Amino acid sequence: MKEVRISLVGFGIVGHGVLEVVRRKRELLRNMGLDLKVVSVTDITGTLLDEKGIDPERLHGLKTLEGIANLGIIGKEAIRDVDSDLVVEVTPTNIVHGQPGLGHIEEALSLGKHVVTSNKGPLVVAFNHLQELAQDNGVMLKYEATVGGTMPLISLIEKNLVGNEVLSIRGIFNGTCNYILTRMMEEKYTYSYALTEAQELGIAEADPAYDVDGIDTAGKVVILANSVFGMDAKYSDVAVTGIRDITPEALNLAWERGYLIKLIGEVPALKVKPMLVPRRSPLAVGGTLNVASIETDLSGTITVTGLGAGSIETASAIVSDVVSIYTTRQIDD
Ligand SMILES: NC(=O)c1ccc[n+]([C@@H]2O[C@H](COP(=O)([O-])OP(=O)(O)OC[C@H]3O[C@@H](n4cnc5c(N)ncnc54)[C@H](OP(=O)(O)O)[C@@H]3O)[C@@H](O)[C@H]2O)c1
């Protein structure tokens, strides 16, 4: 049995999901020969350490570690001082400077710890630097959950489409925008009414700019460009138009001609903009779903769809990445 000692950094929606998925799948993982132990959880109030593995029941219903943390260290210090094999980094995203996640990931990789993250910021800002750091230290950096949540995209390309040249990826990478456009289309809502509904349902943030202005989608386009196409793309290389100016009339006109309007991200074109999508196209998914069509030289076009967000869904992608680190064999020379 391979014991994997995990430090969880970030104790929000995704952090809670990771604890829950590790708990729920303990037996399944053990049957695969993996004993995943979350030995520490860190948030901005401190770190809870338990060398024997933290019982998620202990943290059930808690929003922060305040009053329960037994170490007064956070951030890089917590990553350094806790004896772990792997860091799961799930702090808030900032795609301008990447912090605090960027510092956390650099620290972990430099110390020879694997990293699995759902945090786009560090990868948008410094993808190639972080991959080099991982390689130099003989560890892996995995980030499936940063693009499309639970929708297997990067692992699908790396594992199942191996040998194919990926020619392009086009898709819907933001569930909030997809929800708003779907409701405008189906219910004839105005943009602001659909946005308010999404906010009331917790699908959109109070400040929705990150989603509706296409910033989140552009971040995902940068990650795909650098990881799948080996580019050195920056956020500023992406031409971005959001969905604020879409009207019910435009959606209706498109519908009458057999189309939907969707916010589409394109790689390697590095474009994010509302585009016409044929109603019968595999990209024509509704609600909060994400979708990606991968055009390849050998396999034609493969389309994958799934939930782009959610506590358990995102955690599922994270735990899959953790498992793949320990089950992927490297071919020796
Ligand atoms: N939620 C999803 O469905 C989803 C899907 C895909 C990707 N993601 C990405 O995954 C990451 C986590 O998302 P989330 O929804 O779980 O966010 P969240 O609910 O805001 O949780 C983030 C957690 O990190 C903590 N934190 C902030 N600064 C920290 C620091 N310096 N050290 C340690 N902890 C710190 C926050 O504490 P405070 O709240 O006290 O500040 C909070 O507990 C984000 O980067 C997000 O973009 C989320």
Instruction: State the average pLDDT for the chain.
Output: 96
**Does pLDDT of 187 surpass 80?**
yes
Query: Does residue 314 have its Cβ closer than 6 Å to ligand 1?
Result: yes
Q: Give the residue whose CA is nearest to atom 27 of ligand 1.
A: 91
Q: What is the mean pLDDT of residues 315-328?
A: 95
Instruction: For residue 232, count CB atoms less than 10 angstroms from its CB and return exposed for 0-12, middle for 13-18, buried for 19 or more.
Output: exposed
Q: Is 229 among the annotated ligand-binding positions? A: no
Q: What is the mean pLDDT of residues 39-56?
A: 96
Among 220, 234, 271, 273, the one annotated catalytic: 220
Query: Does residue 103 have its Cβ closer than 6 Å to ligand 1?
Result: no
- Band (229; pLDDT cuts 50, 70, 90): very high
Q: How far apart are CA 314 and CA 94, in angstroms?
A: 18
pLDDT at 329: 67
Q: What is the mean pLDDT of residues 92-113?
A: 97
| 92 preceded by a cis bond (ω within 30 of 0) | no
Q: How far apart are CA 114 and CA 125, in angstroms?
A: 19
Query: Does residue 92 have its Cβ closer than 6 Å to ligand 1?
Result: yes
Q: How far apart are CA 95 and CA 218, in angstroms?
A: 10
Q: Which residues contact 10 (CB under 8 A, 6 or more apart)?
A: 42, 43, 88, 89, 90, 91, 92, 119
The CA dihedral of 205, 206, 207, 210, to the nearest 10 degrees, is: 0
Instruction: Please give the helix or strand (H or E) that residue 28 lies within, else none.
Output: helix 26-31
Dig out the tokens for 209 from the structure: 């700019």
Kindly give the distance from the C-alpha atom of residue 11 to the centroid of ligand 1, in angstroms, as a whole number: 7
Q: How far apart are CA 178 and CA 182, in angstroms?
A: 6
Q: How far apart are CA 229 and CA 304, in angstroms?
A: 18
Q: How far apart are CA 323 and CA 332, in angstroms?
A: 20
**Does pLDDT of 61 surpass 90?**
no
Best residue among 7, 8, 11, 14 to mutate for probing ligand 1, ranked by most atoms within 8 Å of CB: 14
pLDDT at 206: 87
- Band (56; pLDDT cuts 50, 70, 90): confident
Q: Is 318 among the annotated ligand-binding positions? A: no
Query: Does residue 119 have its Cβ closer than 6 Å to ligand 1?
Result: yes
If you ran DSSP here, which 8-state letter would residue 115 be given? E
Q: Is 262 among the residues known to form the active site?
A: no
Half-sphere exposure of 143 (CA within 13 A, CB side): 23
| 150-186 per-position pLDDT tens digit | 899 999 999 999 999 999 999 999 999 999 999 999 9
CB atoms within 10 A of CB 67: 8
Q: Which residues contact 228 (CB under 8 A, 6 or more apart)?
A: 154, 157, 166, 169, 267
Which 3-state string (H, E, C) describes 241-279?
A: CCCCCCCHHHHHHHHHCCEEEEEEEEECCCEEEEEEEEC
**Does pLDDT of 333 surpass 60?**
no
Q: Which residues contact 189 (CB under 8 A, 6 or more apart)?
A: 183, 197, 248
* 87 and 79 Cβ atoms separated by less than 8 Å: yes
**Does pLDDT of 27 surpass 70?**
yes
Q: How far apart are CA 86 and CA 5, in angstroms?
A: 6
Q: Is 120 among the annotated ligand-binding positions? A: yes
| 189-203 per-position pLDDT tens digit | 999 999 999 999 999
DSSP strand E in 86-245: where? 86-89, 114-117, 141-142, 166-172, 239-240
- Which domains does the chain show, CATH number per domain? 2-149+311-327 (3.40.50.720), 158-307 (3.30.360.10)
Q: Is 323 among the annotated ligand-binding positions? A: no
The alpha carbon of 260 is separated from its chain's Cα centroid by a whole number of angstroms, namely: 26
Ligand 1 atom showing the smallest separation from residue 15 Cα: 16
Nearest residue to 322 (alpha-carbon basis) of 151, 113, 138, 94: 113
| 117-141 per-position pLDDT tens digit | 999 999 999 999 999 999 999 999 9
Percent above pLDDT 90 for the chain: 94
- Band (328; pLDDT cuts 50, 70, 90): confident
Nearest residue to 154 (alpha-carbon basis) of 327, 323, 330, 321: 321
**Does pLDDT of 98 surpass 80?**
yes
